[in-house]
């Protein structure tokens, strides 16, 4: 018995290795193939030639990292990036012997000369307490993807940074002698936004209220925890979420940008007021 596809070779031997007996046929071309020439397919096996042909005609898929960056992707890229930045900065804090911490943390006395610290402080954490960054990053990992998917990446960035800025402003106004660092102000902003959005959609929000209250209370009980940053971030996060809800329609996108700018401007004004008040105390 012969196999026409194998050019007259015996059908019970491999078409590439005539000295090897086999009874397995390629699912596509029907040639006999030995164990070394078999590639498992969705159904049966394929010979090397058919595999090469299928690879040529198969559509090319882009790496998951690239597809995740597409506008329509649901991957929480911003959340992952924020977590990665905080982890990298934390490692830099440890290995720099405190130099990175000193360069990025926020103290109200430095507001006039180095105002950027009001934002950079969101990315540094206490080098002496691993629990600090662990708790903040876990909270961001849990709630970040939900909000990022709900409001979009650029809105999520705006929410996070404005909330963190709001936390620093609250520290300037309410605790002008305290230095702070950590992402908790921004994370409380996410909690505040989540509460406002969920409430507007008619969802049950007692659990999120419980989480907010417990964390605020812990800020008063646990030493070296800035409840002022928590409160400031919470309030600003709620305001930003309210802006998003009132300007959801596409025709209101310009109004949304204007209102977000107004929130930013308001925080800048409060910062100036805080600096003036701080200078008055020092006189």
Note the pLDDT tens digit of each residue in 43-87.
Answer: 778 899 888 888 777 666 555 444 444 555 678 999 999 999 999
The pLDDT of residue 219: 59
Tokens representing residue 170 in the block: 């609250």
Containing structural domain, residue 79: 75-271
Instruction: Report how far residue 255's alpha carbon sits from residue 244's, in angstroms, rounded to the nearest whole number.
Output: 10
The pLDDT of residue 171: 95
In a domain, 277, yes or no: no
Confidence of residue 214 (pLDDT cuts 50, 70, 90): low
pLDDT tens by residue, 238-275: 999 999 999 988 899 999 999 999 999 999 999 999 99
Residues 135 and 11 in one domain: no
Residues 38 and 81 in one domain: no
Task: Give the residue-averaged pLDDT of 191-216.
Answer: 74
The pLDDT of residue 22: 82
Residues 80 and 181 in one domain: yes
Backbone angles phi, psi at 87, to 5 degrees: -65, -45
The pLDDT of residue 64: 47
Which of 4, 15, 86 lies closest to 50 in space, CA to CA?
A: 15
230 in active site: yes
Residues 224 and 177 in one domain: yes
| pLDDT of residue 2 exceeding 60 | no
| pLDDT of residue 27 exceeding 90 | no
| pLDDT of residue 88 exceeding 90 | yes
Task: State the DSSP string of 161-199.
Answer: HHHHHHHHHHHHHH-TT--B-SSHHHHHHHHHHHHHHHH
Residues 80 and 185 in one domain: yes
The pLDDT of residue 12: 81
pLDDT tens by residue, 157-194: 999 999 999 999 999 999 999 899 999 999 999 999 98
184 in active site: yes
- Out of 46, 125, 132, 230, the active site residue is 230
Residues 135 and 256 in one domain: yes
The total number of structural domains in the chain stands at 2
CATH label of the domain that carries residue 252: 1.20.1540.10
Residues 123 and 190 in one domain: yes
Q: Which residues pair with 13 in a beta bridge?
A: 21
The pLDDT of residue 176: 92
DSSP three-state, residue 83: helix
Residues 184 and 256 in one domain: yes
Task: Give the residue-averaged pLDDT of 221-241.
Answer: 85
- Out of 128, 184, 200, 226, the active site residue is 184
Residues with Cβ within 8 Å of residue 238, at least 6 apart in sequence:
192, 193, 195, 196
Residues 39 and 89 in one domain: no
Which residue carries 């939900």 as its tokens?
A: 146
Task: Give the residue-averaged pLDDT of 98-108.
Answer: 94
pLDDT tens by residue, 106-155: 999 999 999 999 999 999 999 888 888 998 898 899 899 989 998 999 99
In a domain, 229, yes or no: yes
| pLDDT of residue 5 exceeding 50 | no
């Amino acid at each position: 018995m012969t196999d026409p596809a194998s050019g007259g070779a015996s059908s019970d031997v491999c078409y590439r290795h005539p000295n090897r007996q086999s009874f397995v046929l390629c699912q596509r071309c029907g040639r006999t193939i030995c164990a070394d020439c078999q590639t498992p397919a969705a159904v049966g096996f394929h010979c090397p030639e058919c595999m090469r042909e299928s690879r040529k005609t198969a559509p090319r898929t882009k790496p998951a990292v690239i597809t995740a960056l597409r506008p329509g992707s649901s991957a929480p890229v911003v959340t992952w990036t924020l977590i990665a930045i905080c982890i990298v900065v934390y490692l830099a804090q440890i290995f720099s012997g405190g130099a990175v911490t000193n360069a990025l943390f926020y103290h109200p006395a430095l507001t006039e000369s180095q105002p950027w610290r009001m934002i950079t402080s969101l990315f540094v954490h206490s080098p002496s307490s691993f629990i600090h960054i662990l708790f903040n990053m876990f909270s961001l990992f849990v709630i970040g993807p939900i909000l990022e998917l709900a409001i979009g990446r650029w809105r999520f960035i705006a929410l996070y940074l404005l909330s963190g800025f709001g936390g620093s402003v609250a520290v300037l106004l309410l605790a002008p002698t305290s230095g702070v660092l950590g992402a908790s102000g921004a994370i409380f902003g996410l909690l505040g936004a989540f509460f406002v959005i969920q409430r507007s959609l008619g969802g049950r929000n007692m659990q999120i209220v419980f989480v907010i209250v417990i964390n605020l209370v812990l800020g008063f009980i646990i030493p070296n925890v800035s409840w002022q940053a928590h409160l400031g971030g919470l309030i600003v996060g709620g305001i930003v979420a309210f802006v998003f809800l009132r300007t959801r329609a596409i025709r209101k996108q310009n109004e949304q940008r204007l209102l977000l700018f107004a929130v930013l401007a308001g925080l800048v004004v409060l910062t100036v007021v805080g600096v003036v008040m701080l200078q008055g105390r020092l006189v």
